[in-house]
Amino acid sequence: MAAGAQTILVVEDEASIASFVSLYLKNAGYTVRAVTTGSAALTQVAAEQPALIILDLMLPDIDGIEICRRVRKTSDVPILMLTARDEDVDKIIGLEVGADDYLTKPFNPRELVARVKSVLRRSAPERRRDVEEELRHGDVVINAGRREVKVGEEEIQLAPKEFDLLWELIDHRGLVLTRDQLLERVWGYTFAGDTRTVDVHVRQLRRKLGDASPIVTVWGVGYKVGPERSTAPTPAA
């Protein structure tokens, strides 16, 4: 899909930031809708789902964390969160509730546009896998077409990037993938990104998958998927 056909929703209450973000995105060929409040953002998403949301953490009515949480209940639209505070807790909470990535203010607008392009490229329909493609590892079953993950018979709700990360790791089972490799393969970054993004998503996957999680940390390097194991109970003799 051409960039000109894609609409980006900018949710930012600081007029100067909203203005220059919108300008750079328009110059890159995107259509931009800009709103200044969380309630306006939810109304806009309900009326017309954008290709991507750029969401400020601090808004005058509903904060970005809550907006992200509500959007994720009904949509897997990519979300790039902006924060004025270089606080790990803000970034981690944002990623945990479903944001795909974040940028800390002040940021280079060229980096913003590069990240937008990367996220959209990775979420493009032509990049999605065959509808019937499926991966299995132990009790974990991932269906690409339905974007569905099950542990045994239980369906596990994953955020979009959590799903993509789990797929990438299981698809390369037995191989150690560095954090930089995962940033490139899952987030589409061909430049240096914050590898803590990967760590937060891995932690979330482990929490959601519980004992069935196959992800192993290779200290100082990255992550891999360990040997298959079943969490199903052993039948009584």
pLDDT score at 90: 66
Final residue of a structural domain among 71, 96, 126: 126
pLDDT score at 84: 75
pLDDT in tens, 100-110: 888 888 888 88
Q: Cβ neighbours of residue 2 under 8 Å, at least 6 residues apart?
A: 29
Residue keyed to tokens 């060929």: 29
Instruction: Judge contact between 213 and 165, C-beta under 8 A.
Output: no
Phi/psi for 71 (5° steps) reads -60, -40
Q: Which residues of the chain have pLDDT under 50?
A: 1-4, 126, 231-237
- DSSP string of 122-167? HH-GGGSPPTT-EEEETTEEEETTTTEEEETTEEE---HHHHHHHH
Kindly list the distances between the CA atom of residue 159 and the CA atoms of 5, 19, 105, 106, 204, in Å, as whole numbers in the listed order.
25, 30, 24, 27, 9
For residues 105 and 200, membership in a common domain is answered with no
Q: Are strands 79-83 and 52-56 parallel, antiparallel or unpaired?
A: parallel
pLDDT score at 206: 94
- DSSP string of 160-176? HHHHHHHHHHHHTTTS-
pLDDT score at 24: 92
For residues 100 and 26, membership in a common domain is answered with yes
pLDDT score at 124: 62
Instruction: Identify the domain containing residue 89 by its residue range.
Output: 3-126
For residues 104 and 140, membership in a common domain is answered with no
Q: How far apart are CA 85 and CA 91, in angstroms?
A: 9
CATH number at 192 reads 1.10.10.10
For residues 30 and 86, membership in a common domain is answered with yes
How big is the CA angle at 21 (ends 17 and 24), to the nearest 5 degrees?
145
Cα-based torsion angle of the residue sequence 84, 109, 117, 54 in order, rounded to the nearest 10 degrees: 30
Phi/psi for 91 (5° steps) reads -65, -45
pLDDT score at 225: 93
Using DSSP's 3-state secondary structure scheme, residue 63 falls into: coil
